[in-house]
Structure 1
């Protein structure tokens, strides 16, 4: 199977998913439903690629992507049930209508999904070059999943505490290592998937697809994730002291004193 066929097919699938999501957003009146599609779309793309390839690595990628994407979609679906629009999207749209949402959200995220799925597409058309890199990728992916699962569990426990018994800012556990363990975990997951699907296919496929984890890391750190969320979080009491000693993204052991914003 040639890459152009796989690439064109996955692009068509992503376009269809974005159209369906845009319709869904009109029905419920919330652009933030795209966050549910975000994780689910990668799972669908992984399945399409595996159907083309039919080998063990592509189905491994389905499993790895499915754990991440399925968990993310379900988590966001539960969290957003009955809620209004996400403040991040309200700020991004700045009062614009459906056309603005199509241009700034659905088009951008659709293209991002297709671009970031390049390692999955490469694995569908190129045989495994180095099995040990597949193993390394699974390890990196597992580190990312740990940061996501443990970070979310710690945050849920913090939120469940009575208001008078918890500090104004969550700074325990992984949240004392990085202000956004879940977003850092996302980045690790996709660097792992790139190792499994991209670099394990050879140096050239690895170089041609490394844009995927770079783009994912950039988006979740600087655009739709950490920095955008901090615009609202930074108004909390005690935030400035917390931000002065805990890195924005890349974790490091807790310590006192001011640190660089990594």
Structure 2
């Protein structure tokens, strides 16, 4: 990237790592006192917000102001909504640990806290730094906003709405006293088994497009949505959640008629009296 402020960006990379790990280590200290490492889920969105704000401050005078402000706001709105949503949802779990972390920490060869620090907090801090590359890079790109930024903003907006509506619908469903133990298959959840993860997927491809001021910036930033897509579909997102829900009554039928990730019309329920296979 001709004219790209590499020296300033290198300083920013270090500062962004510091911001991400500061959020994670602070969360670890609080979680250790409370004995609940599920608090790290709240820190995920907050860490991205910290990186975006840090980069916005450090990139002053380097990148295009319109792009800087747009990327910072998009990341902060997404990150803070996610953190607030997870914090509110966590109130319903009382003071216990999340079963996912119970299973993970049961494998600890020594101190559970040290194991959690190494395999959860530091790992997530590193992922925040890596995945936030478009957020950091975009704020140092001096090219004014163009067609790719418009497309990225629209993609981000669709993803944000999809994720927010999906979370809202699931919360409303869980609040119903007659829905305990039942599978949520209404609204967006009738079109995809993971509307929240699909929304995340669109958000990060949108942020990637916002960083595409040049071909070179796109080539550097593309690692972020690729990593996030892998995590959502094959890593700690969809795969782990479906393994957890596999034994729930009605879940097998739900998976048979509902798309695994990308939204599609629900498949027709099989008719038991239909002789066709």
Q: Matched residues in 1 for 2:150 and 2:178: separation?
A: 44
Counterparts of 1:155-194 in structure 2, within 5 Å, are 155-163=170-178, 168-194=182-208
Q: CA deviation at 1:95?
A: 4.1
Per-residue deviation, residues 137-189 of structure 1 (Å, max 9, x unmatched): 0110111112112112221222233317x892111111111101001101111
Higher helix share: 1
Deviation above 4 Å: which 4+ runs of structure 1?
none
Aligned to 2:72: 62
More displaced, 67-76 or 52-61? 52-61
Q: CA deviation at 1:39?
A: 0.2
Q: Is the 8 A contact 1:129 1:202 kept in 2?
A: no
Q: Find 1:125's aligned residue among 128, 137, 140.
A: 140
Q: CA deviation at 1:129?
A: 5.7
Q: Tell me: CA distance 1:234–1:20, structure 2 relative to 1, closer, same or farther (3 Å).
A: same
Q: Is the 8 A contact 1:6 1:124 kept in 2?
A: no
Instruction: Report the structure number with the largest CA radius of gyration.
Output: 2
Q: Is the 8 A contact 1:139 1:192 kept in 2?
A: yes
Q: Tell me: CA distance 1:223–1:178, structure 2 relative to 1, closer, same or farther (3 Å).
A: same
Pairs aligned (count): 255
Q: What stretches of structure 1 of length at least 5 have no aligned partner?
A: none
Q: CA deviation at 1:83?
A: 3.8
Q: Is the 8 A contact 1:52 1:124 kept in 2?
A: no
Aligned CA-pair RMSD: 1.8
Q: What's the TM-score, normalizing by structure 1?
A: 0.91
Per-residue deviation, residues 38-61 of structure 1 (Å, max 9, x unmatched): 101111111111112232211111
Aligned to 1:249: 261
Q: Matched residues in 2 for 1:88 and 1:249: separation?
A: 21
Q: Matched residues in 2 for 1:239 and 1:172: separation?
A: 13
Q: Find 2:25's aligned residue among 14, 19, 28.
A: 19
